Amino acid sequence: MAEPIVSGVLTRIGDSLIQESNFLYGVSDQVELLQTELKLMQSLLNDADARQDESDILRQWVAETRDLAYDAEDIIATYALKVASREEGGVLKRCACILYEGITMHKVGSKIVNIKAKISILKTSFRDYGIRESIIQGGGSGSLNERQRQQRETYSYLEDDVVGFDNDVKKLVEFILEEEEGNRIASICGMGGLGKTTLAKMVYNHHIVKRHFDCRAWVYVSQQCQRRHVWEEILISLQSKDRRDEIKKMSDAELVEKLRQVQQKQKCLVILDDIWTIEAWNSLCAAFPKKNTGSKILLTSRNKDVSLHADPRGFLYELQHLNDKWSLELLDKIISHRKDPDPISKTRMEKLGKEMIGYCGGLPLAITILGGLLAAKQTQEHWENVLRYVKSHKENFGVNKVFTLSYNDLPCNLKPCFLYLGLFLKGFEIRSKELIRMWMAEGFIPQIQHGGDGEDSMEDEGERYLQELVQRCMVHVGKIGSLGRIKTCQIHDLMHDFCLAKAQRENFLLVSNIRSLGLSEEHIGKIRRLAINWKSSDECLQGIKLKKYPYLRSLLYSMLHLNHVYVKELCFKNFKLLRVLNLENYTRNLPEDIGLLIHLKFLSIKNSTMTSLP
């Protein structure tokens, strides 16, 4: 994914030449020459990106190009900021500053010349390999044309596009409402992508179910089942979010006892979404009473044995693939938001769509993603191109091929925004406002003006980026705000797997836990974005382990079991290029050297328990 990176760097370098020309004195000529060299390289990268899998050497060249572009931006931005923040003083101090800047200017100029030379060599290597040049389309917000903007204005993302679930919902609701003692667990089973979570949401939000139960809780379990986290989230939902701090201080035994009491005193509905193993259920089940309760549990799993083990007398519902009629109906629902072509083209495109979904095997997720792609295509010719791709992979066509096709079709400016989602935990409901601000801090959203405040206009553009990903069915809406904007969002767990694998292979980011914090053989080049997931209660963060990542732009922590984890004091002096720092749930004071993060644009310390700031 070097082409989107280089495109973004070009935009930001151009902004620097315009907005910070005074602070680039002495190196502006070299910066302009570098900008020209990157533009020439950009024309080759579209083909190079698409052919990375042909050879390791080509993949290496693409990674080197991406890193050189980042290096260039870091050097220019850091130099401009140092000049801009020059301290005023007496004559001797100003002379010393001038002398220092002269030396710095020479070093920076030499580094830029060196980067330009390396890019030139790589450009020659690409051409010798047979990489073809392409016409550079307008980047940034320009790639989101007027037709797409009009689509966003009318696109409804308030409800999931679902078909064929009416009878399923009816049967599940009937069981959930039964008062008979003992029948307390309902299960939805089936392979990934069949719509288990979607069906569970329909039951959870059913108007009769809402009236029947006193309180409800939804928790995502996942393959890495965190028992205490699951118990905490259920109890917080069943009682009150205001009691979060009190609940987190409870011992495991107190949590279990309180959960059992609540479910026996009140009618509760608990959804356990995506349980993978019998062992995971066994670790959780102590918190769910078997007798003297009107509460019910609805779980989803890819493993039928989990459901049978949880409650042999319970209700097991196995989801099936969609038949041809429902598959076509689902596709029609998704593409209905686009502007219809002329009648002749419409008839032909309907035939093309019917042929394409035949390769999806009735899998709702595959049809949904394919539909999101086709909805963005307005002409018969575009649909025919998609069909050719589908046919060329018909022997192994499946969800991942649909994901790849949809990702490759993304506009240049949306690819890094999509891959950035890989930094968040699977199943995590992402706050849209914070996500957009992280995109802004990373420079994924250009500094454009829409007639108002610059920051506001960038957030508006970020909202449009997010809406575009939703329209393409690559991102799902979680909650809607009071003004109708997307409040939270998330991606399907299979899409998250694809996103994370793609992002790590492209060396766009690294996701690791404390114990395995290190580079894998898959990574080529420098790590720019890092997410650290805390897996167990005996882990602690040691700054020394992070010294190998001096080029980080984003650093995110996903912390669970906060009352059991001892966090050693962080050290930021090695992360001077950091733009995004997410320290939510951090339990110690911020160190004074956080002031060295001169590029930091986004800092989150939500739900942290710091006693003071530096």
DSSP class per residue in 342-368: -HHHHHHHHHHHHHHHTTTTT-HHHHH
Cα 60 to the center of its chain, rounded Å: 25
| Range list for CATH 3.40.50.300 in the chain | 166-318
User: Rounded to whole angstroms, how far apart are CA atoms 161 and 468?
Assistant: 16
Q: Which of 41, 34, 37 is nearest to 75 (CA)?
A: 34
Which among 90-99, 242-251, 276-285 has the top mean pLDDT?
A: 276-285
**Residue 248: which H helix or E strand, with range?**
helix 244-248
Whether residue 428 is predicted with pLDDT greater than 50 in this model: the reply is yes
Q: What angle do CA 153, 155, 157 make, to 5 degrees?
A: 125
Whether residue 612 is predicted with pLDDT greater than 60 in this model: the reply is no
CATH node for 323-506: 1.10.10.10
Whether residue 261 is predicted with pLDDT greater than 80 in this model: the reply is yes
3.40.50.2020, 3.40.640.10, 1.10.760.10, 3.40.50.300: which CATH number matches 166-318?
Answer: 3.40.50.300
Torsion of CA 546, 549, 553, 559, to 10 degrees: -30
Tell me the average pLDDT across 551-573: 64
Higher-confidence residue of 419 and 538: namely 419
Higher-confidence residue of 117 and 585: namely 117
Residues with Cβ within 8 Å of residue 356, at least 6 apart in sequence: 370, 374, 386, 387, 390
* Percent of the chain clearing pLDDT 90 (strictly above): 25
pLDDT the model gives residue 96: 44
Q: Which tens digits make up the pLDDT trace of 72-84?
A: 888 887 777 676 6
Q: Where are the beta strands (DSSP E) in 179-323?
A: 185-189, 215-220, 268-273, 296-301, 315-318
- Contact between 83 and 23 under an 8 Å Cβ cutoff? The reply is yes
Whether residue 159 is predicted with pLDDT greater than 80 in this model: the reply is no
pLDDT the model gives residue 576: 81
Q: 203 φ, ψ to 5°?
A: -70, -45
Whether residue 100 is predicted with pLDDT greater than 60 in this model: the reply is no
Sign of the CA dihedral 107, 109, 110, 116? positive
Higher-confidence residue of 211 and 242: namely 211
Q: Which of 362, 366, 375, 352 is nearest to 404 (CA)?
A: 366
Q: Report in angstroms the alpha-carbon separations of 422 from 309, 390, 428, 430, 431.
A: 33, 26, 11, 11, 14
Cα 323 to the center of its chain, rounded Å: 31
When the pLDDT of each residue in the chain is averaged and rounded to a whole number, the result is: 80
Give the helix ranges, DSSP H, for 293-342.
Answer: 304-310, 324-335
Q: Report in angstroms the alpha-carbon separations of 394 from 356, 357, 358, 388.
A: 10, 11, 10, 10
pLDDT the model gives residue 249: 85
| Range list for CATH 1.10.10.10 in the chain | 323-506
Whether residue 22 is predicted with pLDDT greater than 90 in this model: the reply is no
Q: 222 φ, ψ to 5°?
A: 75, 175
User: Rounded to whole angstroms, how far apart are CA atoms 9 and 26?
Assistant: 21
Q: Report in angstroms the alpha-carbon separations of 599 from 184, 297, 506, 517, 581.
A: 54, 48, 24, 24, 11
Q: What is the DSSP letter of 52?
A: G
**Residue 476: which H helix or E strand, with range?**
strand 476-477
Q: Report in angstroms the alpha-carbon separations of 464 from 467, 596, 601.
A: 5, 33, 21
Confidence of residue 573 (pLDDT cuts 50, 70, 90): confident
| Range list for CATH 1.20.5 in the chain | 1-136
Q: Which tens digits make up the pLDDT trace of 444-474?
A: 987 764 444 444 578 889 999 999 999 898 9
Q: Which of 78, 13, 5, 20 is nearest to 597 (CA)?
A: 78
Tell me the average pLDDT across 178-190: 84
pLDDT the model gives residue 255: 92
Tokens of 367: 């049809």
CATH node for 1-136: 1.20.5
- 170 three-class SS: helix
Tokens of 317: 């519902």
- Contact between 475 and 40 under an 8 Å Cβ cutoff? The reply is no
* Maximum alpha-carbon separation in the chain: 89
Q: Which tens digits make up the pLDDT trace of 318-341?
A: 988 888 889 898 888 888 766 666
- How many helical (H) and strand (E) elements, i.e. helices and strands, does the chain have? 22, 13
* Percent of the chain clearing pLDDT 70 (strictly above): 78
Q: 486 φ, ψ to 5°?
A: -70, 120
pTM: 0.82
Instruction: Put the strands of the sheet holding 476-477 in their side by side order.
Output: 430-431, 488-490, 476-477
Tokens of 375: 């909805």
**Residue 5: which H helix or E strand, with range?**
helix 2-19
pLDDT the model gives residue 546: 62
